[in-house]
């Protein structure tokens, strides 16, 4: 211990002058001993983690790029970025810092500018490990545009703008992105993305996971990501959720917080210590609205599933890995890995066992209740890491064909269908990333095209694991023809037996076996991002998919088959067999719910337009109709059957 103190004393003398020696005891307690513990994650697995940002990080001699990036940052720029959201009167913000020296401040101040002057509204300690500071401000006025500044004493600051809620806009735009590989020609910059996103000027940004691929060094990875996107994140709300690579695993089945046997993760659980996982989630998700049910899972790991309303569009944010069962030990191995199936003759039902989890009961309960609550909402969408199907054939290379990849949300199939029914009940579109292949899919649950629409965005940098949609028979799918310039659209079954309808796919152009990270292939590997437009006035949704090097300001150059526009009502594709009597309301745009009395199933809960509405049904029998301003709280008809007539509703 004495030698450590001598090292610290020498550092402070060298960097700050002899006068600071008198303050060494307090410096040790407040800055060094608490914020520079070299092994903050405990356990043998935790010892090598984040070494470039823990202990005497300034002496770390690891990877040259990593060392240079972490150790040469100008001290006036150690606040890398800030991200925020605000909803229901609460502003939440995270300031992310580079590692600090022992003689630097250990608190960050949040100020807002009012009448041309900065006003301090909060001050918070920096949290170690992870080097983040977190602010929660209640009674936030979401109608004003407010400049903000986060400061590390007088040493460093970072400024941005807190936007008002765009409730008066007819169209709400969300940019959706994921898979930010560091294997790129411009490691520290994403200029083409920043330029295009500025042109689009989205109301919100969604980063769906794999912000970092630096498994054992999350602080470096998230700082690298933050420096790349700081200029676009600082001025608008940001939804950021971690995926498998963020928590240091090639794949991830959370198993409710269990401990995985290896970084492959296929036994279920987390491989690295809980404190490391907590750091990752704290840095990436703390600024989201508070969790719907914050009860921790095993190992004391937290949850963040919640919802965020932006301009009248209600986004549910779910964790589609955290509760999911791992394949290894739960189902028979039917391929080279426990999560890969290659035998086309296997029984699809053999892997869909009753005890397997996907979202878990807690998140299904959340989606069920969220779908019935339309307070402040006109449209809904669900955001998560990955897709509810296996819309991929070729994995990593053109010669690696898999029948099924159990990393996707298409498995377990029963859990997949349960989740999709909740989306369908409220007409929610699904947005996600992860797959390294952008697609538009309409899900089938009981029949083709009876489920919601889904958009998987492309990889920001697609040099880790490129993928292709490439049916083995190279034939167009079944069902009514899709209007598309692409050949392989229509109805298909994925390798798990799930019904899907392919509308669009953005394959990499490479076909001759060259590596996707070849410098000559930079514009052909299908790097890009998504932009989704929710038009509240028309209830139409437009999906755009832009290549990384497109010039968005020209209005041209999207991937073939994009953009695609569809009605919100298409998120429920069940066959309508009849209509109940017309409802006439005293006020406009109420919420209507239809319930099948025989089964007790909620068929749908939706905000209707205008003062008249005729509820649809999907079979014979009797139905209950409930209505309310924002929730279906009042029964206006029970034992209602299809037919003509009207019901006056005092809502």
pLDDT in tens, 436-478: 999 999 999 999 999 999 999 999 999 989 999 999 999 999 9
What tokens appear for 343 in the block?
């035998």
pLDDT in tens, 272-307: 999 999 999 999 999 999 999 999 999 999 999 999
pLDDT in tens, 183-204: 999 999 999 999 999 999 999 9
pLDDT of residue 637: 81
CB 501 within 8 Å of CB 490? yes
Mean per-residue pLDDT, 205-229: 98
Assess whether pLDDT exceeds 70 at residue 56: yes
Assess whether pLDDT exceeds 70 at residue 514: no
Mean per-residue pLDDT, 539-555: 97
pLDDT-based confidence at 512, cuts 50/70/90? Answer: low
Neighbouring-strand partners of residue 228: none
Neighbouring-strand partners of residue 239: 206
Neighbouring-strand partners of residue 543: 532, 564
Neighbouring-strand partners of residue 585: 649
Strand 616-617, strand 578-579: pairing: antiparallel
3-state helix, strand, coil in the chain (%, to 5): 20, 30, 50
pLDDT of residue 522: 84
Strand 238-240, strand 204-207: pairing: parallel
pLDDT in tens, 607-625: 999 999 999 999 999 999 9
CB 285 within 8 Å of CB 277? no
DSSP 403: S
What tokens appear for 463 in the block?
């040099």
Mean per-residue pLDDT, 2-29: 35
């Amino acid at each position: 211990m004495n030698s450590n103190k001598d090292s610290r004393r020498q550092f402070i003398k060298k960097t700050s002058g002899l006068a600071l020696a008198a303050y060494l005891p307090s410096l040790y307690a407040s800055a060094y001993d608490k914020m520079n513990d070299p092994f903050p994650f405990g356990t043998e697995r935790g010892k090598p983690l984040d070494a470039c940002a823990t202990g005497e990080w300034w002496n770390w001699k690891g990877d040259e790029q990593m060392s240079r990036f972490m150790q040469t940052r100008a001290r006036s720029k150690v606040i890398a970025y800030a991200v925020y959201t605000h909803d229901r009167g609460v502003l939440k913000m995270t300031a992310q810092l580079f590692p600090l020296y022992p003689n630097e401040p250990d608190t960050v101040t949040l100020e807002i500018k009012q009448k041309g002057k900065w006003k301090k509204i909060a001050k918070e300690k920096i949290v170690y490990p992870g080097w983040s500071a977190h602010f929660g401000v209640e009674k936030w006025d979401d109608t004003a545009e407010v400049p903000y500044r986060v400061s590390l004493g007088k040493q460093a600051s970072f400024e941005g703008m807190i936007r008002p809620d765009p409730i008066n806009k007819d169209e709400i735009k969300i940019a959706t992105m994921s898979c930010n590989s560091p294997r790129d020609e411009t490691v520290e910059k994403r200029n083409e993305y920043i330029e295009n996103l500025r042109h689009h000027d989205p109301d919100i940004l969604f980063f769906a996971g794999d912000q970092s691929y630096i498994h054992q060094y999350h602080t470096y990875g998230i700082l690298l990501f933050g420096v790349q996107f700081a200029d676009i994140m600082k001025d608008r709300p940001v939804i950021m959720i971690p995926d498998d690579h963020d928590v240091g695993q090639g794949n991830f089945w959370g198993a409710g917080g269990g401990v995985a046997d290896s970084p492959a993760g296929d036994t279920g659980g987390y491989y690295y210590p809980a404190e490391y996982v907590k750091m990752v989630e704290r840095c990436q998700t703390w600024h989201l609205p508070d969790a719907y049910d914050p009860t921790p899972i095993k190992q004391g790991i937290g949850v963040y599933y919640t919802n965020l309303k932006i301009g009248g569009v209600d986004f549910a944010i779910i964790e589609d890995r955290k509760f999911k069962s791992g394949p290894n030990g739960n189902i028979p191995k039917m391929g080279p890995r426990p999560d890969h199936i290659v035998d086309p003759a296997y029984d699809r039902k053999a892997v869909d066992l009753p005890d397997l989890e996907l979202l878990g009961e807690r998140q299904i309960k959340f989606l069920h209740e969220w779908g019935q609550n339309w307070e402040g909402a006109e449209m809904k969408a669900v955001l998560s890491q990955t897709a509810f199907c296996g819309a991929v054939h070729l994995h990593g290379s053109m010669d690696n064909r898999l029948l099924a990849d159990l990393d996707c949300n298409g498995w377990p199939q029963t859990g997949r269908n349960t989740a999709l029914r909740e989306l369908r009940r409220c007409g929610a579109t699904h947005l996600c990333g992860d797959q390294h292949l952008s697609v538009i899919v309409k899900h089938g649950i009981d029949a083709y095209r009876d489920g919601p629409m889904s958009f998987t965005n492309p990889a920001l940098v697609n040099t880790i694991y490129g993928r292709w949609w490439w049916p083995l028979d190279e034939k167009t799918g079944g069902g009514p023809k899709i209007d598309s310039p692409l050949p392989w659209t229509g109805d298909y079954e994925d390798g798990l037996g799930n019904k899907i309808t392919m509308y669009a796919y953005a394959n990499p152009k490479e076909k001759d076996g060259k590596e996707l990270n070849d410098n000559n292939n930079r514009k052909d590997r299908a790097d890009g991002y998504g932009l989704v437009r929710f038009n509240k006035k028309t209830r139409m949704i437009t999906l755009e998919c832009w290549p990384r090097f497109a010039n968005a300001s020209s209005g041209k150059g999207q991937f073939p088959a994009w953009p695609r526009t569809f009605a919100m009502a298409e998120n429920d594709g069940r066959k309508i067999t009849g209509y109940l009597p017309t409802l006439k309301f005293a006020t406009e745009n109420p919420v209507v719910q239809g319930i099948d009395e025989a089964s007790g199933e909620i068929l749908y809960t939706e905000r209707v337009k205008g003062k008249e509405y005729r509820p649809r049904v999907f079979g014979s029998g009797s139905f209950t109709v409930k209505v309310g301003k924002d929730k279906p709280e009042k029964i206006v008809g029970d034992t209602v059957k299809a037919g003509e007539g009207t019901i006056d509703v005092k809502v």
